[in-house]
Chain A
Amino acid sequence: MSAPRPWNLVAELTYRCPLRCVYCSNPLDFARVSDALDAPAWCDVFEQAAGLGVVHVGLTGGEPSARRDLEEIVAGAARAELHAHLVTAGTPLSERRLEALAAAGLRSVQLSFQDVDRDASDRIAGRSFFEQKLDCARAVRRLGLPLTLNVVLHRHNLSRVREIIALARALDADRIELANVQLHGFALRNAEALLPSRAELDAASETVRDETLRSARPEILFVLPDWYRDRPKPCMGGLGARTLVIDPSGRVLPCHAAASLPGLEFWNVAHRSLREAWEDSPGMNAFRGEEWMQPPCRSCPERFRDQGGCRCQAFALTGDAAATDPACSLSPHHEVVLRAREGAERAHAVALRYRDATPG
């Protein structure tokens, strides 16, 4: 099938990160992926992406500011007329560095927070950076850059959703994404410790509704997790439909976790043009359209809306990347999700396992 136009490029500049978040979405073998693209290589990729129709680039990782040549990379995005959006944990990112990035053409910042105080943040991040994040948020606003806060929600912080929104308001954020934890990557290893109960989720939804009515700022994004909705999410708006991801090694992927899917061949910008890697690579084409779908998706009237859900979740939970996402109540494997929900209803203390270089 012919490839659609990509709008958005996710540039994973490095998997290095000073934090060790228990739900990190980087691949489990992140330590084996080196930073193969230097700044000129990224700049070249940006020019090629603009030629395909891309207008946005999310500079992410790992922690993108761990790269010393980030200024040069931002400047390249600006030259290619891409909206350069930095997705950061806020460290190591001084105000002077932010100024330099803004001067190079950075247009907006998304900053992650784990929780509203230091101890709770440290428990999730495995390191202590809470104050640096506050400084970073203030510096971003002083520079007049739009600021989005991103907070992953789970059973340890869901009851503090009101305070989390208050923090975003106090930091003058334009937008806050309350992202209910997705269970793949490192988060899957901590599923039992992270999944909230239905009651906790409902209470949080209620609070979000309240806070949304109270003030127009910040814009609040909150989506109930697919595990509780009986229908899967349309992952990435369809794999290979709108967004392309390039990992630190230069591989061109349809989503940040797609390299974990077995048997798929993705191409690298070191060896192919971006257009070839986007349009023709077997891995990129594997889940375009609907030919790949199995029953019950194949004949489901909802397949155009959700494209069968998340391929990575389907693989992680069923061993088959083409299976119906078990988040869907029509999936023959939906039982896995129901069991996890039941588990979340029981109060329990499970130790958290941090992101590390040697996953077991």
Chain B
Amino acid sequence: MSPEELESALRTLLAERYHDHHPFNLRMHEGRLSPEEIRTWVRNRYYYQTRIPIKDGIILAKAESPEFRREWLHRIRDHDGDGPGDGGLELWLSLAEAVGLDRSEVERLTLVLPGVRAACDDYVKLVESSDLLTSVAASLTEMSAGEIMRERLAAFERHYPWVGEEGLRYFRSRTVQAPRDAAHGLHFVLAHARSDEDQRRCIAALERKCEILWRLLDAIEAAHARPRLAPGARLRVDPAGTGDLVVMAERAIRLSPSGREIVELCDGTRSVEAIASLLRERHPDAEGIEDDVHEFVAGLRRVRALEAA
């Protein structure tokens, strides 16, 4: 491929696979998210934000050229600022406060959903295990970030007036930074991905990154689904044991006592988030109970014992 053809292949990939098409993002921009959903998104997306300067540090460590490093260093400074109270992470925390979250809870990362954590950690791992060229290629989702930030800014001003103007400064800053970063990254990839094999690897890396962003929103969306037993699935006492079972077409699943407690709350009216906080109230000392609830429900949804109401 010529550099122009490679650029067009990368743009086509983004047009098809970037998370602006994700149902959760569509609902956000259409003004159809509840305040609880907005809060879950802000809290969890903060984990992604914290991974970005770490990821950029790893990329820096792969670069031989002072010129490249000077340019890339901007990104870390954009996120971390020049001092306390400055930078993109700080702006995100103002957004967290503006949507009604407790800043220190968000900073501690204790309520990050396991699926979100896994997706973001996969991004860092992807960059760790890639060479400089493909790491930069993975960052090219930024080519679409300027546009999504502009839409998001407009959507928040229009549909979520309860989020104060103070909270929107992150989106505003990114509408400028993302296109600048993307231009540099794209220039680098087009200049260095010359062989068919390198070009193929760059496209694959960007595809992986799109998948990661998509999974992140999947996990957030799943947290607000209201699970209930799938048609044909029933909760019953195990006739030959002391425990409980979910019995359904082709499958029977053995439940632990805490599994039963969760399944009983899956009545189609409560979100997984709500079930997790209810169980937190019942068991204030149980370590990691929120994660357990999200992972358990995700597992039962995978085997279709539970469905979203």
Q: Could you tell me which A residues sit within 8 Å of B by CB distance?
A: 5, 7, 50-56, 81, 83, 85, 107-108, 110, 144-146, 148, 174-175, 219
Interface hits, B232-254 → A, CB 8 Å: 232, 234, 236, 238-241, 245, 247-250, 252
State whether A81 and B249 are in contact (beta carbons under 8 Å apart), knowing that A144-B231, A219-B304 are contacts in the complex.
no
The answer on a CB contact under 8 Å between B252 and A7 is yes
Bound form: Cα–Cα A279–B103 in Å? 62
The answer on a CB contact under 8 Å between A81 and B239 is yes
State whether A85 and B249 are in contact (beta carbons under 8 Å apart), knowing that A107-B232, A219-B304 are contacts in the complex.
yes
Using CB atoms, name the residue of chain B closest to A51: B239
CB distance from B281 to the nearest CB of A (A): 33
Query: Which residues of the partner chain B approach A219 to less than 8 Å between Cβ atoms?
Result: 304
The answer on a CB contact under 8 Å between A83 and B240 is no
20 A-B residue pairings within 8 Å (CB atoms): A5-B240, A50-B239, A52-B240, A53-B238, A55-B238, A55-B239, A55-B247, A56-B250, A56-B252, A81-B236, A83-B232, A83-B234, A83-B247, A83-B248, A85-B250, A108-B248, A110-B249, A145-B231, A146-B232, A174-B249
State whether A174 and B239 are in contact (beta carbons under 8 Å apart), knowing that A85-B249, A107-B232 are contacts in the complex.
no
For the complex, count residues of B whose C-beta is within 8 A of A.
16
Which of these, B231, B249, B304, contacts A83 with CB under 8 Å?
B249
The answer on a CB contact under 8 Å between A175 and B250 is yes
The answer on a CB contact under 8 Å between A146 and B249 is yes
CB distance from B166 to the nearest CB of A (A): 40
Query: Which residues of the partner chain A approach B252 to less than 8 Å between Cβ atoms?
Result: 7, 55-56, 83
CB distance from B135 to the nearest CB of A (A): 25
Query: Which residues of the partner chain B approach A108 to less than 8 Å between Cβ atoms?
Result: 232, 248-250
Using CB atoms, name the residue of chain A closest to B251: A56
Query: Which residues of the partner chain A approach B240 to less than 8 Å between Cβ atoms?
Result: 5, 52-53
The answer on a CB contact under 8 Å between B249 and A55 is no
Using CB atoms, name the residue of chain B closest to A221: B250
Query: Which residues of the partner chain A approach B232 to less than 8 Å between Cβ atoms?
Result: 83, 107-108, 145-146
Bound form: Cα–Cα A19–B88 in Å? 69
Query: Which residues of the partner chain B approach A55 to less than 8 Å between Cβ atoms?
Result: 236, 238-239, 245, 247, 252
Among A53, A55, A145, A175, residue most surrounded by chain B Cβ atoms (within 10 Å)? A55
State whether A174 and B236 are in contact (beta carbons under 8 Å apart), knowing that A83-B247, A85-B250, A148-B249 are contacts in the complex.
no
Bound form: Cα–Cα A25–B252 in Å? 25
Bound form: Cα–Cα A174–B304 in Å? 9
Since A55-B239, A55-B247 are in contact, a sample of 11 more A-B pairs with Cβ atoms closer than 8 Å, ordered by chain A residue number, is A7-B252, A52-B240, A53-B238, A56-B252, A107-B232, A108-B250, A110-B249, A148-B249, A148-B250, A174-B304, A175-B304
Query: Which residues of the partner chain B approach A50 to less than 8 Å between Cβ atoms?
Result: 239
Using CB atoms, name the residue of chain A closest to B248: A83
Q: Which A-B residue pairs are the 9 nearest by beta carbons?
A: A53-B240, A108-B249, A146-B232, A108-B232, A83-B247, A146-B249, A55-B247, A55-B252, A107-B232
Query: Which residues of the partner chain A approach B245 to less than 8 Å between Cβ atoms?
Result: 55
Bound form: Cα–Cα A92–B230 in Å? 28
Using CB atoms, name the residue of chain B closest to A109: B249
Bound form: Cα–Cα A87–B189 in Å? 56
CB distance from A46 to the nearest CB of B (A): 12
